[in-house]
């Protein structure tokens, strides 16, 4: 267990606010691909061709195809929240202090698991927005450049509600405020390659004076920045870690 029991007691007694950052690794055992593992999404697609605003201008058909495939994959009945998603929802419900879950993932598995204080900093796969009229709406079907906006009826302006490279991640002010005042920061299933998320550990450490914990399959790019760490599959590590924080059995 990465945190000593006496440290857990102090955090519990102080009702220390917790900020959790998750990445693609937490959804891997639900059947969704990570990005940078050998079998990951970036092994099949070139980032610059599908995950930048310029890519969407240059080849909207390819970008729509990329997200249509992933949106359809999320509707596969086999893709369900796993024990790690469920454990984090339990932590939010039972921890004596605030728990903010910030996910880089665009899947909806944290929400389905029951997490409520949740920020999708890189957007949501099952939402689209219209660049003509700013409509933001739920969307579960395929999207093409011919699809008409349900609000302004124009075509060509609808895009996935995701954050591409070079775009500002969502709700950053709220995230920075929480990082600056948390007592515990936990990073789960992320390789630590993408900023600003990769820098959260330093902000939590320096501004929040937080204890920082990494739970990942293997040491991330920022592994040495964490005070505590444990390595293994999220469905094994996260329920055990949450049980230790809540002093229950997993
Ligand atoms: C398991 C497991 C199991 C496997 N159990 N674990 C500073 C320095 C340098 C560059 C920059 C910088 N600041 C900004 C930049 C530019 C850029 C950037 O970071 N570039 C880097 C490549 C260097 N960042 C941006 O452009 C961002 N915007 C921005 O910075 O705006 C300006 C700004 C300035 C100041 C403050 C605030 C803002 C936007 C980034 C957008 C990222 N978008 C993507 C794609 C869109 C969504 C989508 O299609 O899904 O988001 S890229 C992709 O990477 C996706 C992910 O959310 C993101 C992170 O990936 P993640 O989750 O870490 O996945 P992997 O695959 O990398 O790692 C998985 C991990 O799980 C691995 O470690 C495995 O071992 C592990 N694992 N199985 C536990 N079972």
Question: Tens of pLDDT along 143-190?
Answer: 999 999 999 999 999 999 999 999 999 999 999 999 999 999 999 999
pTM greater than 0.85? yes
Query: Would you call 122 a catalytic residue per the annotation?
Result: yes
Cis peptide before 81 (omega within 30 of 0): no
User: What pLDDT was estimated at residue 52?
Assistant: 98
Residue range 131-148: mean pLDDT, rounded: 97
Q: Atom 29 of ligand 1 has which residue's CA nearest to it?
A: 168
Who's near 231: CB < 8 A, 6+ residues apart? 215, 216, 217, 218, 219, 237
User: What pLDDT was estimated at residue 23?
Assistant: 98
195 lines ligand 1 (CB under 6 A): yes
222 lines ligand 1 (CB under 6 A): no
Of 122, 132, 205, 228, the catalytic one is: 122
Task: Put the strands of the sheet holding 136-138 in their side by side order.
Answer: 136-138, 123-130, 158-162
CA 195 – ligand 1 centroid, Å: 6
Question: In this predicted model, what pLDDT tens digit does every residue of 191-224 receive, in sequence order?
Answer: 999 999 999 999 999 998 999 999 999 999 999 9
* pLDDT category of residue 14 using cuts at 50, 70 and 90: very high
Within 10 A of 113 (CB to CB), how many other CB atoms are there? Answer: 22
29 lines ligand 1 (CB under 6 A): yes
Ligand 1 atom nearest 42 alpha carbon? 66
CA 148 – ligand 1 centroid, Å: 31
Q: Atom 20 of ligand 1 has which residue's CA nearest to it?
A: 194
Query: Which of 71, 160, 194, 239 for a ligand 1 pocket mutation test, highest count of atoms within 8 Å of Cβ?
Result: 194
Structural tokens at position 224: 């040495």
38 lines ligand 1 (CB under 6 A): no
User: What pLDDT was estimated at residue 25?
Assistant: 98
CA 116, 121, 126, 132 dihedral sign is positive
User: What pLDDT was estimated at residue 248?
Assistant: 82
Query: Which of 102, 195, 215 for a ligand 1 pocket mutation test, highest count of atoms within 8 Å of Cβ?
Result: 195
Residue 250 has pLDDT above 70, yes or no: no
Residue 7 has pLDDT above 90, yes or no: yes
């Amino acid at each position: 267990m990465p945190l000593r029991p006496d440290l857990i007691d102090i955090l519990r007694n102080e009702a220390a606010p917790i900020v959790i950052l998750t990445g693609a690794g937490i959804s891997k055992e639900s059947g969704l691909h990570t990005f940078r593992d050998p079998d990951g999404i970036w092994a099949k697609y070139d980032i610059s061709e599908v995950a930048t605003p310029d890519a969407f201008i240059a080849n909207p058909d390819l970008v729509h195809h990329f997200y249509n495939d992933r949106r359809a994959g999320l509707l596969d009945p086999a893709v369900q929240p796993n024990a790690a998603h469920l454990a984090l929802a339990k932590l939010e419900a039972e921890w004596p202090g605030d728990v903010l879950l910030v996910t880089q993932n665009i899947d909806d598995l944290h929400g389905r698991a029951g997490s409520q204080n949740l920020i999708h900093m890189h957007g949501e796969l099952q939402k689209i927005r219209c660049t003509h009229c700013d409509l933001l709406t739920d969307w579960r079907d395929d999207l093409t450049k011919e699809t008409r906006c349900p609000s302004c009826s124009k075509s060509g302006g609808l895009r996935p509600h995701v954050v591409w490279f070079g775009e500002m991640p969502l709700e950053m002010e709220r995230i920075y405020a929480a990082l600056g005042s948390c007592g515990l920061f936990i990073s789960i299933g992320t390789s630590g390659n993408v900023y600003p998320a990769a820098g959260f550990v330093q902000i939590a450490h320096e501004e929040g004076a937080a204890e920082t914990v990494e739970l990942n399959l293997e040491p991330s790019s920022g592994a040495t920045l964490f005070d505590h760490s444990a390595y293994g599959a999220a469905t094994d590590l996260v329920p055990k870690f949450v049980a230790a924080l809540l002093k229950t059995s997993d």
